[in-house]
A and B are shown apart, each in its own frame.
Chain A
Amino acid sequence: MNLPENGRVVVIDDDYKEVESLLKVLSKNKVPVMYFTGILEELPEQPFSDVRIIFLDIELGTEGQPEKTKVSTTAGVIQKIIGNRSNPYLIIAWTKYDKLLNGIRKLLKDNPPLLMLNLEKSKCKDEKGKYEIGKIEEKLKEELKKAGIFHLFIIWENFVHNSAGKIVNDFSSFYSLDDNWNKNMCGVFHKLAKAYAGEQLPAGKVDELIKNALLAFNGTFLDTLENEIRNYIDIDKTLLPDDKGNIANDILAKVNSRLLLIFDIPDMPVPGNIYFNIKAPEAKIDELFNEKNIDTYQQKDDLNKKVKAIFLEVSPSCDYTQNKWKLHRVLPGVIWPVDYQKKINQADYIYTSRLFKIDNEIYKFVFDLRYLTSLSFDDLKDKRPEFRIRHELLIDIQSKIAGHINRPGVISLE
């Protein structure tokens, strides 16, 4: 049974007695839950962004009220808990009013559940009308099978949770758990921060110290996570059917953006930053497309309007960390609309990326390696980066630049 193990399960029922047995089942399966009765004052001020499963009663102090009110109340409570941001979650009905589930789905149209399952509360009771834990567990297992690929997300989130737990366990046990533990660990955190930030660590800023100390866990965390996943044995192969399907460009671009771009970034010069509108030699669009592939003048005109000049900060990360950089190394390029992707020049000095989604449009990054340039710190002083490319993609581009600069010129006769 795959259920989130880190508190992203919500149980909503106005009567604690009605959910007591269900809570026992969840506890037995190591699933922490958040419990709400539906009383307005007890609901969170701000919604959670990562709720995955909601066990739901559709009778939240609305006995005797019309169905419309029962539905309105329940949808209101769910909305208070999950908000309007789209995130995948399941509703598992734990109610005698399961016929009202569709009405609730309609009201939650801005953030609908991925799936609505039904535990059929009445079938989880024994002959005397008492809830039976075994029956609940069995029914829950059966219903969760319907969630399909959603399980893979839950499994991954559980690995993340477990990996983080391991790191905390390991690091916290370097010193014996006695009265000095706090003092001793304090020193470790200072050292971790220093190790992570290097010369960049500003003196006297405790908040930056804490941030960098926490960032220092990331590397080992990723290794631990990788290890955990690689050692994953009891894989339920039915969770991923052999159905590759056709994925639309739009989805590919969204996934790539999620994997390789960071949009919510601080305003600081970091390798990987992408800038618009800076004063520097731009890549020449005429040289980026293949003249032969442009059919009409209108196409060329249209392309000119749609491409947008960008600049990628490609300075080596170690220069940045160790505060050794003297100039910004900037690679000019463009974001290139997907409609014209076949028109891109295939020359070896042109770098073309996969599809990305930026401002609701699908683009490729196209860089002209020949225009690699340097800018002074003053040149970028007031410029805010639009977004950042992730380290993996940056390294790929850096290696292409290196290859382009180092290409041997061989003198030979044909």
Chain B
Amino acid sequence: MKENYIFKPRARLLLQLGDQLIRNESIALLELAKNSYDADATIVNIKMEHIDKPDKGIIIIEDDGIGMDMDILRNVWLEPGSDYKEKLYLEGRIKSKYGRVPLGEKGIGRFAAHKLGNEIELISRKENSNEIYLRIDWTSFKDAKYLEEVPISINKRTKSKDFTDNKTGTKIIIRKLKTSWNHLMVREIFRSLNSLCSPCSPFDAPDSFGVNFDTDKTEWLKGLLLWKEVKDYALFKAECEIEEDEIKKFRYRFTPWSSMKKLQCREISEDNMEVKKLKKMVDKDNQSINLSRFQIGRVKFEAFIFDRGSKILSLGVQDKKGLKDYLDANGGIRVYRDGVRVYDYGEPDNDWLNLGIRRINIPTKRISNNLIIGAVHLQRDGSKDLIEKTNREGFIENEAYETLQKAILYTLHKIEIFRNLDKEKIRTFYGPTPSSEPVISSINDLKNIVDKKVKDGNLKDEITGYLKRIEDDYRYINETLLKSAGAGLNLSVVIHEIEKIIAELKKVVEKENLSARVVSLVKHLSQLVEGYSTLIRGTGKKTEDLKKLIDQAIFNVEFRLKAHKIHVIKDYLQSDGDFTVKCARNLIIGSILNIIDNSIWWLDYGDIKQQKIFISISNELPEFTTIIIVDNGPGFAMPTEEITKPFVSAKPDGMGLGLHITKEIMEAHGGELMFPEWGEFLIPEEFRNGSIVALAFRKKEAQK
């Protein structure tokens, strides 16, 4: 026998939905503001009074949108989960006079009101309709058994009380507040509402949609900085547009304050040669990042980047603490769709681009969330593959979303390249002297934390193994530097960087659950320290035949060259003469390898069909024996005077040490790392546009 039944939702289901779908009060208010946006409002006024006393408190949200009539209220508003807005959008029947696409397409906004209070009055008026009035006491849902047992009465007012003079709109009054608000919550709401609209100019301005916030607790908002006051403190600004697999538009501006008299403004655009070379977006494995694989559309990325150094801030910011607090609370990269915020990207708890972790790798060169206020602008029509989660906590993490993440990170890294150069200038003229951190004791602390926190034996062994290596190498570097007064090497920048990384790492390890991610960070650090300890270890010099050292370097990367189908032209084998110099074998091989490693990357990046590296040796340069390494790739993507500085790299995820170490090695040998022009040496025509690097050694006679 077959019997049919139906679901009978309990009345309290509505209360549960409200509680669980809307994470906090801040999101609840934002949802209500989004409803106003959908209703074509140009302004939404939010008023909060006596909110520290739930019984007395009142929250009023009032907009000047198109309002609702009896029909919409009954058939849409009272039907939770209604797909009314979504259908309108999908069918292209958007009636909005501004052509806005609904933000609240999930039909869950009304629960937001319940998140805030137990009693709601809703007054709305649509053009040429009567004002309607609805009151809901949510507590009655607790008492009744089934939803159908709770009657909702709607009154049609023959004479408008709230929307007079043919005005339209919706007003929601919330009483019997569910929480007692404090000043931190209000400041948070204020901040959130202010960030609802993009701080920058999106593609299509949302037709002057604005949010007014008013409260009787004015003292609670005292001292809060506003965006318009803050944005002028940003020293670096960028606007980029990305589409398909390229950065289509790029504008970077360095705007030092007037007090920084030694510095000048500069602007870089997509016409800049270096920017042109870096337009194609790739990930760290040189794989293309292509937005056109998905419906993501053209993406605009804007960034305001700040400097938080106390000494720097003293040059132009009066309320240093205020600015820092503002950046702490508002910093991050937000996402806006058609000019309205997609939560909760850019909120303090949502580091969706992993900027924090990325920074730990190279603290001074990477921008963290509390240094940037950025906005990613999407166009709703073109970005259908980015699907928002029902609970308003960002996009579903699909491939399209991951591609967007990679594209933004790539673009940010290109901005960083220019920002780092300017930052360095600021530091040169106005920066503090780096102070030393007690590294070894920090490592010991780290070891203890790992010992206590990590239960997994293998993971513990792995992390401890890396820490041990870091400690050994670091101790070696420090001791050697002390003993030999640097052995002619300028490593102070690097040592400082290592110290900072360890300090930051310690913070992360203390804060986070230890995971494979921590392992990768420790590993990274260990590689960095290893790179430098090498520099000091291999200093024993002997007379070596440079040709044999080139042979060895090519042999070392033979498998890699084969995998990348790179043909090496060994021109040096044809050269006759004495090519022996006094040098540290491993360091020179390492230097050649660093250059070949760069070539391998850039040949791939440049999509060169027949990839070639040309290596020759020459005694032409007076007093020098020179190894010349050239590729037929796109050439250097940054000024050659910059690329030898530590931690400067145009490669995504590049540590930026290879050429710096090479330069140090050459100088320690009394030689030079050079970047000659094509024509200075005999190099075939096909290598004209490639990168040309020369390792110039002083001849033995000159060495003596």
Contact B560 A64 (CB under 8 A): no
Give Cα A65 to B593, complex, Å.
8
Q: Given the complex, which residues of B lie within 8 Å of A69, measured CB to CB?
A: 556-557, 560, 593, 597
**A122 contacts across to B, CB distance below 8 A:** 465, 468
How big is chain B's contact interface, by range? 20 to 34
Closest to A122 in B: B465
Contact A64-B534, Cβ < 8 Å, known A40-B548, A41-B548, A69-B593: yes
Bound form: Cα–Cα A349–B227 in Å: 104
Q: Which of A72, A96, A107 has the most CB of B within 10 A?
A: A72
User: Which chain B positions have C-beta within 8 A of A73?
Assistant: 555-557
Interchain nearest-CB distance for A90 vs B (Å): 21
Q: Bound state CA distance, A72 and B548, in angstroms?
A: 18
Pair B558/A76 contact, Cβ less than 8 Å:
yes
| A305 contacts across to B, CB distance below 8 A | none
Other 8 A-B pairs with CB < 8 A, given A64-B532, A69-B593:
A41-B548, A60-B556, A62-B590, A62-B593, A65-B597, A72-B557, A73-B555, A75-B559
Residues of B near any A CB (own CB < 8 A): 465, 468-469, 527, 530-535, 537-538, 548, 551-552, 555-560, 585-586, 589-590, 593-594, 597, 657, 661
Interface size on A, residues (CB 8 A): 20
- The complex places the Cα of A62 from the Cα of B560 at a distance, in Å, of 14
Assembly CA distance A222 to B535 (angstroms): 57
**Inter-subunit contact A64/B589 (CB<8 Å):** no
Complex-state Cα separation, A96 to B586, whole angstroms: 19
CA distance A64 to B593 in the complex (A): 10
**A409 contacts partner chain B, Cβ-Cβ < 8 Å:** no
A65: chain B residues within 8 A (beta carbon): 556, 590, 593-594, 597
Q: Taking the nearest CB of chain A, how far is it from the CB of B167, in angstroms?
A: 67
The distance from the CB of B325 to the nearest CB of chain A, in whole angstroms, is 41
A129 CB → nearest B CB, Å:
8
Chain B residues whose CB sits within 8 angstroms of the CB of A337 once the complex forms: none
Taken together as a complex, chains A and B put the C-alpha atoms of A68 and B559 apart, in Å, by 9
CB contact between A68 and one of B537, B538, B560 (< 8 Å): that residue: B560
Closest to B469 in A: A96
Interface: A1 (CB within 8 A):
no
Does residue A251 face the partner (Cβ distance < 8 Å to B)?
no
- The verdict on A39 contacting B534 (CB below 8 Å), with A68-B560, A76-B559 known, is no
Q: Is the CB of A72 within 8 A of B586?
A: no
How distant is B423 from chain A, measured CB to nearest CB, in Å?
26
**Contact partner, A63, options B530, B551, B559, Cβ 8 Å:** B530
Q: Name the CB-closest residue of A to B519.
A: A99
| Residue A204 at the chain B interface, CB threshold 8 Å | no
16 contacts between A and B (CB under 8 A): A39-B552, A40-B552, A41-B548, A60-B556, A63-B530, A63-B534, A63-B537, A63-B590, A64-B530, A64-B535, A65-B597, A69-B597, A72-B556, A72-B559, A76-B555, A76-B556
Instruction: Closest A residue to B561 by CB, please name it.
Output: A72
A61 at the interface (CB under 8 A from B): yes
Q: Which residues of A contact B590 (CB under 8 A)?
A: 61-65
Residue of B nearest to A123 (CB): B461
Q: Which residues of B contact A107 (CB under 8 A)?
A: 559
A62–B555 CA distance with the chains assembled, in angstroms: 12
Residues of A within 8 A of B594 (CB): 65
- Judge whether A66 is part of the interface by a CB distance below 8 angstroms: yes
A62-B558 Cα distance, complex, nearest whole Å: 14
Residues of chain A within 8 A of B534, CB atoms compared: 63-64
Bound form: Cα–Cα A338–B303 in Å: 74
* Interface 1/0 per residue, A38-81 and B, CB below 8 Å: 01110000000000000000001111111011011101100000
A66 CA / B597 CA spacing, docked (Å): 8
Contact B589 A61 (CB under 8 A): yes
Which residues of chain A have C-beta atoms less than 8 A from B552's C-beta?
A: 39-40, 61
- Chain A contacts of B530 at CB under 8 A? 63-64
Bound: A122/B465 CA distance, A: 8
Minimum CB–CB distance from A366 to chain B (whole Å) comes to 47
- The chain A residue with its CB closest to the CB of B594 is A65
Task: Say whether B593 contacts A40, CB under 8 Å.
Answer: no
Interface residues in A93-111 by Cβ distance below 8 A to B read 96, 107
B429 to chain A, nearest CB (A): 32
Bound CA span A64–B558, Å: 18
A-side contacts of B560, CB under 8 Å: 68-69, 72
A64-B531, A64-B532 are contacts. A40–B555 as well, Cβ < 8 Å?
yes
Q: Measured between alpha carbons, how far is A122 from B594 in the docked complex, in Å? A: 28
Q: Which of B527, B532, B551, B556 has the most CB of A within 10 A?
A: B556
Given contacts A69-B593, A72-B560, A96-B465, contact A63 B555 (CB under 8 A): no
Bound CA span A314–B85, Å? 95
Assess the A63–B469 pair: CB atoms within 8 A: no
A69 to B538, CA, bound (A): 18
Residues of B within 8 A of A96 (CB): 465, 469
The answer to whether A63 and B597 touch (CB under 8 A), given A40-B548, A73-B555, A76-B555, is no
In the complex, how many angstroms separate the beta carbon of A180 from the nearest chain B beta carbon? 49
- Give bound CA distance, A65 to B537, whole Å: 14
- Distance of A173 from chain B, by nearest CB (Å): 47
> Least Cβ distance of B353 to chain A in Å?
24
Distance to closest chain B CB from A99 (angstroms): 8
| Chain A CB within 10 Å, residue with most, of B465, B551, B594 | B465
B535: A residues at CB distance < 8 A: 64
Q: Are A72 and B532 interface neighbours, CB within 8 A? A: no
Closest-CB distance, B652 to chain A (whole angstroms): 14
Q: Which 5 A-B pairs have the closest CB atoms?
A: A63-B534, A64-B531, A64-B534, A73-B556, A72-B559
Question: Cβ of A76: which chain B residues have Cβ within 8 Å of it?
Answer: 555-556, 558-559
Q: How far is the CA of A41 from the CA of B555 in the complex (A)?
A: 11
Contact of A61 among B532, B548, B585 (CB under 8 A): B585
A107 to B531, CA, bound (A): 24
Instruction: Give the distance in Å from the alpha carbon of A69 to the alpha carbon of B597 in the complex.
Output: 8
Please determine whether A63 and B538 come into contact, CB atoms closer than 8 angstroms: yes
The CA-CA distance from A122 to B464 in the complex, in Å, is: 11
Give every chain A residue within 8 A of B469 (Cβ-Cβ): 96
Given A40-B552, A41-B548, A63-B465 contact (CB < 8 Å)? no
> Is B556 touching A63 in the complex (CB atoms < 8 A)?
no
